Every structure is written in C-alpha cells, then in structure tokens.
Amino acid sequence: MPDIVLATLNAKYIHSAFGLRYLLANLGELRSQATLLEFDIHQRPVEIVERILAVRPRLVGFGVYIWNVAETRRVVALLKRLRPDVVVVLGGPEVSHELGEQEIARLADYVIPGEAEIAFRDLSRQVLAGAPPEGKVRPALLPALDRLELPYDLYSDDDLAHRILYVEASRGCPFECEFCLSSLDEAVRRFPLERFLAAMDRLLERGARHFKFVDRTFNLNLRVGQAILDFFHARLCPELFLHFELVPDRLPEGLRDRIRRFPAGTLQFEVGIQTFNPEVAARISRRQDYTAAAANLRFLREETGGHIHADLIFGLPGEDLESFAAGFDRLIGLRPHEIQVGMLKRLRGTPISRHDREWEVIWSPDPPYEILSNRLLDFAALQGLRRFARFWDLVANSGHFGATTPRLWEGTTPFAGFRRFSEWLHAQTGRTHAIALPRLVELLFRYLTAERGQEADAVRAVLTRDYVRPGRAIPACLGQGGDGTARRERRPAARRQQRHREAAAEDPARQL
C-alpha cells in the first residue's frame, strides 16, 4: 500500500492532472511509495474518499483549482472526519493566495503556495519520518527548471489514447495583465530545450499525437518557438495536433514561415485579445499593439491552416457595452474560427481587485468568482452578456452552424444581431443549457423566418447544408423522409482532432 496519494478532481475525464505528475516525478526516493488517483468533479465525495482510503495512505496531497475547490473542500472535510490521522496537503493556484478566507485551508494540515515540486517532496520526507514541521503554510521557492524531473513518462497508454496531454517548454509570463495569475510571475523561465524535445520524442514514439502547450507565451522567444515547430514538423503524421497560446502582436517571419508549412488541422492557436479598447487595456496593465495583432490574425486565417481560437473578456473596468460590442464586431471581421466570450473573474491573488472601489465592482463570492455588476454594467446587463456567451458557444463556436450564424445579424452588426437572437432564444427556452441540437435547429429556423422575415426555403437550405450529416436525425423543419419520419444515417467514427478541439474549448485551465 502506498504511503502517499496524489489526488485531484479534474473538470472532466479527458483532462489530465499535469501538476500532480510533476509532484510524483520529483518525489525522489519516495516515488515508489506514492500513487496517483484522478477523479472528476461529478463524482460523489463519499466515493472519492472511499477510493483514497482503500489504499490506506498516511499522506494525501490534493491539487486545488478554481474549477474544483468547492468539491475538493467536501472531499477533504469527509476524509478528515473519517481519518483525522491522515495528513492532508493542499497545493495549486486556488490555495496559493488569500488562505485566511478559505475553509479548505482550515481543514488541511499543510498548504504549499507556489510551484510545489521540491517543497512537497521535502514536506513528505519530514511527515513520513515522524518529524512533521510546525506551521501550516509552507511557501515554495521557485524550483530551478533544469533540475526538475520531467513528468511525461508518467502519462499512461490510456492517457495517450483518451486524454489531453499537457506539456510545457516554459513557465511564467512577461506581461502584467491584472486579471491573470501570470501577472504575479517575475520572469519567464525555460526548461532545457534539448531535454524537453527528447521527452516529446518519447511520447511520439509511444503513440501520442495530441499536445496542449500550457506556456503562456509560446511565441515570445523566436529561437525556442522555431525549434519546437521544426521538431514537430519533422515528425508530421496524419493525427498530429498541437495547441499553442500566442501573444497576439508578436509573430515574426521566422515563425510565420514555419506555421505555413503545417497542413490544415494540425495547429490550433489560442490568441488572447481580451479587449480592443486601448484605455481599458492600459487600465489593467495590458500592453498590446492592436494593429500588429489584427495583422497577425489575418495572416493566420488567410495564409495558414491553423485553427484560431480568440478570446474576449467582458466586465473589464471601464469597458461599457458599446465598447465591448465594437471590439466583438472588430474581432468578427478578422474571422477567427472561434471566439471565446468570457466573463471577468477575480482570481485569488490577482491585482484586478484594486479597481473595485472606483468602478463599483461586485464579485460573486463563489468560484469561479465572476463579476456580478460594476458602474457601467449592472447585474441585468451582465446576465444578458452571460447568456450571449453561452449561446455563442452553442451556435457559433459549435461548428454546427457555420453558414447559418451570419444570417443572425443580416442588416445589422454582429454583436447587435446575435444579442437580439440571444434574448429571443432565452425567452423561448428559459434556459442556457440542455437545449438539444435538433431543437436548436428548429428554433433557429423559426427565429430567422418568423422574427427576421427571411425566406423559408433559403433558411431551410442553409440550415440543411450546416446541420445534415451522417448520424443525425433531420428535424421536421428541414424536411422528412419518404415514410414521414426523420431520416437517420449511420455515424462514422469522429475525428480525434475534432473531439480534442471540443474538449479544449471547455478546458478550465484557460481560466487561470
């Protein structure tokens, strides 16, 4: 039986616990005494605790994040009630700041703020040796990246087949955007490139094909970015899929040339625009050249096969509805494949809260700590934008309605047109979730014909082109089979790239 259990609650099964694999890889002589147990937030706490206690650990380390803190607190409370002698150690972004306000920190024996690979190993040694240190909070010093053991060999064959594989060539961010935890980083630190690429080569040899880089600034260093792209291009295969987060206004020709070489469907770029309002950007310490960012988005869209996922945030201090709408419309004009419309969150430790008094910001006290209102956007307005974002995911980002979506704003601007549809859709359904796809098709048909006055046959034709594909029942509004029932065809195997993209769009890691 292992003495140490490393555990976390992932948002979904497809997400893997990257941080816990780092802890396990760096346990030194204790590695043989440890095991990794992954759960998800939909499992019952009593069942999670049952599995943990079944291996009779002496110490349990939990990874705590914004998406799992509420559920993890219930697990820790139950675990300590049943086995108060088991030492509970917490780590992760959610418990690295403002610990005095958190019930989960009170329940635990130790909390390690920061990058905990070395600190957790040292604490585990002391606890298992019978000499637990005094003091609950054990701040971690930044580890030297060239001395860390890399975790990639700990991905199992099952992980390679069914989960997103997280990788990183660097840590930290040079920017100071006040809504982001990376604003607290002092510098960008890089793993030794040769060693990192050797680990990637081993994953490829084992059959890994999907890599999600969590580096905040993949394209910051031209030499490193070029080397990584060259490495993967030399190993191209049909199912290779790479996800990178790009600084929007930095894409020199050396990177452009390499991006052009990859076939369509291989590269996905997450591009954080966040706001097109320069005054708002300056207020939150965000530096961005909008002309260069727009040119880079046009290049990616028009000259490469990369899939572009762009981010906008609503609720930033000083940005009103008109400003956000203008930014949204401008981004639509640059034609990214997806636009993630996100609500501003107050992550623990970030300096965004320094604007609370001036802009009269009210935050939700519960994770994910989203904005509820401010001086320019009241609660009702923000609720409307929240619905807008959800319905935009259902319709525009889903990939189901590529040709239909622009019809929603014919004769007006994209933001105004889709906002009008969003409010109508909510009035019809009273919900933002659990709208079945065939039902959504029928609602789109009814809205475009009855509310917008578009010709029924033309709407039917574009919806049919978007929606009808093997394996889908055809809603009555699009036509019927010869027997008067909706047709259904056999479903082919889904492409793994598409499943990965859909999972990446819901990836909670992008909230951090």
| Mean pLDDT (whole number) for 194-223 | 95
> What totals of helices (H) and strands (E) does the chain contain, helices first?
18, 15
Instruction: Give 409-453 pLDDT, tens digit per residue.
Output: 999 999 999 999 999 999 999 999 999 999 999 999 999 999 999
* Yes or no: domain 155-353 corresponds to CATH 2.20.28.10: no
Residue 278: per-residue pLDDT? 97
b/e map 6-27, b = 16+ CB within 10 Å: bbbbbbeebbbbbbbbbbbbbb
Q: What is the pLDDT of residue 162?
A: 92
Rounded to 5 degrees, what are φ and ψ at 397?
-85, -15
Q: Using CA atoms, how far apart are residues 369 and 211, in angstroms rounded to an integer? A: 29
Mean pLDDT of the region 191-216:
97
Task: State the SS3 of 286-308.
Answer: CCCCHHHHHHHHHHHHHHCCCEE
Q: Which of 247, 207, 211 is nearest to 229 (CA)?
A: 211
pLDDT at 484: 29
Q: Per-residue confidence at 508, pLDDT binned at 50, 70, 90?
A: very low
pLDDT at 498: 55
Q: What is the mean pLDDT of residues 169-185?
A: 91
Q: Determine the pLDDT at residue 496.
A: 40
Q: What is the pLDDT of residue 511?
A: 34
Distances in Å between the alpha carbon of 363 and those of 351, 355, 373, 402?
14, 12, 7, 35
What is the pLDDT averaged over residues 277-302?
A: 96
Query: How does pLDDT run across 142-165, given as a tens digit for each residue?
Result: 999 999 999 999 999 999 999 999
Is residue 352 pLDDT above 70, yes or no?
yes
Residue 482 has pLDDT above 90, yes or no: no
Task: For the domain made up of 4-128, give the CATH fold.
Answer: Rossmann fold (3.40.50)
Do the domains 155-353 and 4-128 match in fold?
no
- Give 474 or 63, the one with higher predicted confidence: 63
Q: What is the pLDDT of residue 445?
A: 97
Span 303-329, average pLDDT:
98
Nearest Cα to Cα of residue 241 among 150, 335, 306? 306
pLDDT at 493 over 90: no
CB 466 within 8 A of CB 403: yes
Cα gap 114→252, rounded to integer Å: 33
Q: Which residues contact 135 (CB under 8 A, 6 or more apart)?
A: none
Indicate the pLDDT class of residue 485, thresholds 50, 70 and 90.
Answer: very low
Give the domain ranges of the chain: 4-128, 155-353, 400-512
Say yes or no to pLDDT of 192 above 50: yes
- Looking at residue 487, its pLDDT comes to 43
pLDDT reading at 373 higher than 60: yes
So what's the pLDDT on residue 211? 97
* pLDDT per residue as tens digits for the range 86-110: 999 999 999 999 999 899 999 999 9
195-198 long-range contacts, Cβ below 8 Å, gap at least 24?
A: 195/146, 195/150, 196/150, 196/167, 196/169, 197/227, 197/228, 197/231
Its pTM stands at: 0.90
